[in-house]
Amino acid sequence: MLKIGSHVSMSAPHYLLGAIKEALSYGANSLMIYSGAPQNTRRIPTDRFKIEEAQEYMKEVGFDSDNIIMHAPYIINLANTVKPEVFELAHSFLVEEIKRTQAIGSKVLVLHPGSHVKAGDEVGLAQIIKGLDMVIEQVDMKDLKIALETMAGKGSEVGFTFEQIRDIRAGVKDNSSLGVCLDTCHIHDAGYDLSNVDHLLDTFDDIIGLEHLSVIHVNDSKNIKGARKDRHANIGFGEIGFDHLLEVIYHPRLAHLCKILETPYVNKKAPYRHEIDMIKSKEFNPSLLELIEND
């Protein structure tokens, strides 16, 4: 069965329970959440997340907790060598974020590898490896995977080539808990061609190994291939296009993975219910944006 969902919010007062209900309202059987605001490190204790209520509810409605994906906040930058305090915060926050992910019962924590902030790709990559080594040594990862996200290469981001992701995985001493998150908008912006998905997956398999994939982010892109911009578009309304995204979503080699939409809101309204409808029916609806607006 197709595992499809979107980013949903986990906020007061219902937290995880509210997140599950939001996902169900979109017709989703998967979801992705942040443990708090993605732009800051303020977090409330997990005992307020309504985890037990959510677990009971999931059993009731048949929502598989393996389809809950977490995303670490953007401010975690393990690649920073310029400001030691940024690296130290990234390290300590990631340790706590892993514990929160485990408390929630999610097995995948998506992480942006980081930005080298003018130190260069090589220095940034080495610092990420150092940081991941420290984190993995310090916490019991159990069956949790840190999914390194393929990036668009905006600014000084690293992890925008499959080779860089491979090098991070290869550099980390115990990489058994290091997975990968493939983001369609990001790889397109980084220059990968989504018009031949089979070839793309072969390339990924040769360099990283498809067995290391933990989750897929499905987004269209507002910019042309190789633009290195990272601006997501609604499904079928960008430069990748509906058919190529559908090929990714329904590709047999990716069938076991959750597909998560992170497409933009339209007029402050979540597009996900309509996008998921369109994906399930496999038919592009050119008036989708009006549909969302009129919700």
Residues that bind Fe ion (CB under 5 A): 149, 183, 217
Is the Cβ of residue 96 or residue 239 nearer to Zn ion in the bound state? 239
- Which partner from the list Fe ion, Zn ion, none does 217 bind, CB cut-off 5 to 8 Å by kind? Fe ion
Contact in structure between 10 and 51 (CB atoms under 8 Å): no
Residue with tokens 């929160």: 100
| Spatial CA neighbour of 105 closest among 226, 19, 25, 224 | 19
- Tell me if the bond preceding 84 is cis, omega within 30° of 0: no
Least spacing, CB of residue 185 vs Zn ion, in Å:
6
According to the binding rule CB under 5 A, does residue 189 interact with Zn ion? no
- Which partner from the list Fe ion, Zn ion, none does 230 bind, CB cut-off 5 to 8 Å by kind? Zn ion
Contact in structure between 270 and 293 (CB atoms under 8 Å): no
Least spacing, CB of residue 173 vs Fe ion, in Å:
25
**Which tokens is 175 given?**
């990489």
Least spacing, CB of residue 79 vs Zn ion, in Å:
17
Least spacing, CB of residue 186 vs Zn ion, in Å:
6
- Which partner from the list Zn ion, Fe ion, none does 22 bind, CB cut-off 5 to 8 Å by kind? none
Is the Cβ of residue 232 or residue 244 nearer to Zn ion in the bound state? 232
Burial of 289 (0-12, 13-18, 19+ CB in 10 A): middle
Is the Cβ of residue 20 or residue 235 nearer to Zn ion in the bound state? 235
Is the Cβ of residue 116 or residue 186 nearer to Fe ion in the bound state? 186
Is the Cβ of residue 17 or residue 132 nearer to Fe ion in the bound state? 132
Is the Cβ of residue 149 or residue 189 nearer to Fe ion in the bound state? 149
Build a one-symbol-per-residue string for 201-230: x at contacts with Zn ion by CB under 5 A, - elsewhere: -----------------------------x
Least spacing, CB of residue 267 vs Zn ion, in Å:
21
Residues 101-105: contacts with CB under 8 Å, at least 24 apart: 101/35, 101/70, 101/144, 102/142, 102/144, 103/46, 103/49, 103/51, 104/16, 104/33, 104/35, 104/46, 104/49, 104/51, 104/68, 104/70, 105/51, 105/55, 105/65, 105/68
Least spacing, CB of residue 186 vs Fe ion, in Å:
6
Q: Residue 61 in 3-state DSSP?
A: helix
Positions touching Zn ion (CB under 5 A) are: 230
